[in-house]
Each structure stands twice: as structure tokens, then as C-alpha cells.
Amino acid sequence: MPASSNRSTTTDAPPRTGRVRRLHLPQKLRNLELFLLLIACGINAASVVLVQLGALGRIDTTLVFLGAGLSALVLAMHVVLRVVAREADPFILPIATLLNGLGIAMIYRIDLANGESGWASASVRQTVWSALAIGCAIAVILIIRNHRVLFRYTYIAGFVGVALLLLPLVPGLGREVSGARVWIGVGSFATFQPGEIAKIALAVFFAGYLVRNRDSLSMVGKKFLGMRFPRLRDLGPILVVWALSMSVIIFQRDLGTALLYFGLFLVMLYLATGRLSWVLLGMSLFLGGALIASQTLDYVNGRFRNWLDALNPDVYGADGGSYQLVQGLFGLAKGGLLGTGLGQGRPEITPVPQSDYIIASLGEELGLAGVFAILALYLLLVARGFRIGFAGNDDFGKLLGVGLSFVIALQCFIVIGGVTRVIPLTGLTTPFLAAGGSSLVANWIIVALLLRLSDTVRNQPRLVV
């Protein structure tokens, strides 16, 4: 003992005990996070100021103060991470902060164009929702110290997910906004899209369920065309999720949400079983359902027509036609490579420029350069989530991490792809950017879970990532 303690005090190299290394590493990560956070907050503040200079020609301090409050809250979350998740991924929080802030700046810009201000304006509400969402994220980080806890609640999560999804169909509680019945509201205020929260619950459920049942889903079944197809009795889960998605299409009239959940389920199913046959089966089920829906449901049919023939004057002028889509394209075209500059475009011409079409608004004022930057941020965020999947060593955590990240990627693809005519346009919010409280809360909870998962992964002594 004396010899060893002698040696440790006399060598110049830092002592290599596990305890000291654990103290050293998180500081590095958290310092990096703090540095990036400060940059993100700086960009956000600059965007708001630029919006004011562009649209008002002067600086108005109200929203700057609100933004400073948000920055303080995000920094508080950073401090919480220093204590309870020291080895969490340092990129996730700054990216979410930056996207959230850019969204607020653009929503504020549209408020200015529409002459709205004060507590009724979308930007102030978005700021308050952001504060609430970050609060939720901090709570999740503090409460869930180990993600395996969630594994215990697999079926409860599943039940909660389905219940939330179906909640808007309850008479008296559900609200219909622009044709889609995906909202709930009490009285005339506090409308909420429970489906946004449902995606987290469902991701937990899928992860838990698949980890428990992957063997029966992947091992047995007949081989056909070089692929092993599942037994008929194992088709239960995929049929249930499919039926759920179809009911969302039919009763809630929301193509995007259905696509999101079904896509999430398929990807997690594929990850868990490693069998392409599930994906083929699921895709043909969904495409078949969507095809029947496009023939029988007017709104689905209209979406396809708007997508394929947007610039046709008949489609453009029709009720529920491609007017909005084409106006969004006009906005993007106006932005060109470098954009008009914040506060200097006319994003308000496009209907709902602050929610579904926020990417078109940002594209108009920040140009292709700005859109590329935003897409890069999303891609980076998703990539950080996927790292959890690659590096993790418990299947539940891997599945959950990848599932939650994939939900963000798929949601971006559905919305932005819809706006830019890659796929038919369906109503979904752009994660973090678009106006909408439920979406913010859900996405910040995802951030909290990803942070928790990444912390767990790095804490595993066998793997260094």
C-alpha cells in the first residue's frame, strides 16, 4: 500500500483510477455543450434582432427579454445535466435550442407581418410553450435516472399511446382544425395535439414489446423468395398497428400522423427482427390501405392530386386545392440561394406560414443556404440518436434511442418533403420549428430521453464512444 501510494504521488502522469477518469470526462463533454449552447443562444438572439431590424426597422426589447428567459432555462437544463447526466451527448441540447429559437424568430416575424403582438400572438405563446417544454425535459431528466425503468411500463405505455391517439375522437373533447381531428381542447383554450405525446409512448411500447417478442417474430415462419415470412398468428401486432394507422386516416383525417406511426413501427420491427419481410409486408399493407383511401376518401385523393398536378390552374383554384402548396413554392423560389434576409420576405402570403409551412417561410428568408443548414442540424440530431443505437448494449435502450431519433427524421421528411413536393403534403409539425405546444413538449421530452440514453451508453465501462 505505501509503495503504491508513493508511486501515485511521484509520477507526473495523472492517476489512472476509474473514479478520477469519470470526473474528468463529463466536464469535457459538458464544457463543449456549454460552448455550443452559448453559440446557439447567440444565433437565436441575433435572429430575433435581425427580424426586428428587417421587418420593423428598429429593435423592440420585449421578445429579446423573453428569449433571454428561455436561454436561462436551457442553461439551467445544462446545469442539471452536469449533475445527473454528466456523460450525455453534448450536441443534442444545443441543436434543439437552436432549432427552437429559429422557429420562434420566424413565428415572431410572421406575427409582425400580421400586426399581432402581446400575449395573444403566436410567438409569445410559442415562447411560453417552449419554457414549459424545456421544463418537462428537465423533469424527465431528473425523474428518469435509468431508462430501463421504462421497460417495466411497456404495456402501460402502449395503452397510454393508443388512448392519447384516440382521445380527439371523444365527443366534446376533440377539436377539428383545418379538416383534421387530431386536437383536444377544454373550453375555448388550451388546445393540444395528444398524438404528439403518443409517439413517445408508442416508441417506448414498441421497443419494450419487440425486445420481449423478437424471437417469435424473427425465428419462425416459412421461407419464400429467399425471405422468411412470419407465421399468420405472429401477424397480430403489425395488423393492430396497421388498423390503428388506418383508423387515424379515416376518422381523424390525418395522413401524416398515420404514416409517422406506421413508419416508426416498421423501422423498429425491422431493427428488432432483422427481417426485411416485415418491412415489405408492412409497406404493402400501408400502401394498399392508402391506395384504397385515396380512391374512397376525398381529402386523401385531393392530397394526391395537389401533389402531382400542383400548378394546374384547376387544381390551384379548387377548394382544398394546391393554392397553399404553390404559394409555399413561390416563397421558396423567392428565397433562392441566399434568401431575402430575415424580416424582408413575404412569408405571410402563404397560408399557415408559422406551422406546417414554416420551412417554406425560413426558405424564403434564409434561402437554400438556410434550409440546408436546418436540414444539417436535423441530420446531426438524428445521427447523435443513432449513435446510441450503435453503441448501446441493451436492446431496449438501442431500440428506443433509434426509434425516437427516427421519429424526428421521418417527421421532417413527411413535412418538408410535403412542402417541396417529394411526397403528397400531409399535416404534421416540423419538429422544434413549427408553432405548436404539444409538438414542442413532445420533442423536448424526446431530447431528454435521448440525453438520458446517451449518458447511460457512455457510462457503460466496456464501451467508449
Chain contacts with other proteins (rule: CB under 8 A): 267, 270-272, 274, 311, 316, 326, 329-338, 341, 345-346, 349, 363, 367-368, 371-372, 375, 378-379, 382-383, 386, 389-390, 395, 398-399, 402, 406, 409-410, 412-413, 416-417, 420-422
- Which of 322, 464, 355 is CA-nearest to residue 129? 355
Closest contact distance (angstroms) between CB of 323 and other proteins is: 9
Cβ–Cβ < 8 Å for 435, 362: no
Closest contact distance (angstroms) between CB of 412 and other proteins is: 7
- The residue among 47 and 252 lying less far from other proteins, judged by its C-beta, is 47
Radius of gyration of the chain (CA): 24
Closest contact distance (angstroms) between CB of 447 and other proteins is: 18
- The residue among 169 and 373 lying less far from other proteins, judged by its C-beta, is 373
Closest contact distance (angstroms) between CB of 228 and other proteins is: 15
Count of H helices and E strands in the chain?
Answer: 17, 5
Q: What are phi and psi of 180, to 5 degrees?
A: -100, 130
CA neighbours within 13 Å on the CB side: how many for 450?
30
Closest contact distance (angstroms) between CB of 278 and other proteins is: 11
- The residue among 33 and 364 lying less far from other proteins, judged by its C-beta, is 364
- The residue among 130 and 429 lying less far from other proteins, judged by its C-beta, is 429
- The residue among 194 and 353 lying less far from other proteins, judged by its C-beta, is 353
- The residue among 329 and 445 lying less far from other proteins, judged by its C-beta, is 329
Q: Which long-range contacts does 20-27 make (Cβ < 8 Å, 24+ apart)? A: 22/86, 25/86, 25/87, 25/458, 26/82, 26/86, 26/87, 27/86
- The residue among 38 and 391 lying less far from other proteins, judged by its C-beta, is 391
Closest contact distance (angstroms) between CB of 271 and other proteins is: 5
Neighbours of 59 (CB within 10 A): 11
Angle between helices 236-251 and 276-296 (to 10 degrees): 30
Distance (Å, rounded) from C-alpha 465 to C-alpha 393?
Answer: 12
Contacts of 17 (CB under 8 A, 6+ apart): none
Closest contact distance (angstroms) between CB of 273 and other proteins is: 8
Give the position of cell 406551422.
Answer: 355
Q: What are phi and psi of 106, to 5 degrees?
A: -70, -40
Closest contact distance (angstroms) between CB of 423 and other proteins is: 9
Measured CA to CA in angstroms, residue 240 lies from 26, 300, 378 at distances of: 43, 22, 31
- The residue among 293 and 382 lying less far from other proteins, judged by its C-beta, is 382
Closest contact distance (angstroms) between CB of 61 and other proteins is: 22
- The residue among 334 and 458 lying less far from other proteins, judged by its C-beta, is 334
C-alpha cell at 13: 502522469
The DSSP 8-state label assigned to residue 230 in this structure reads P
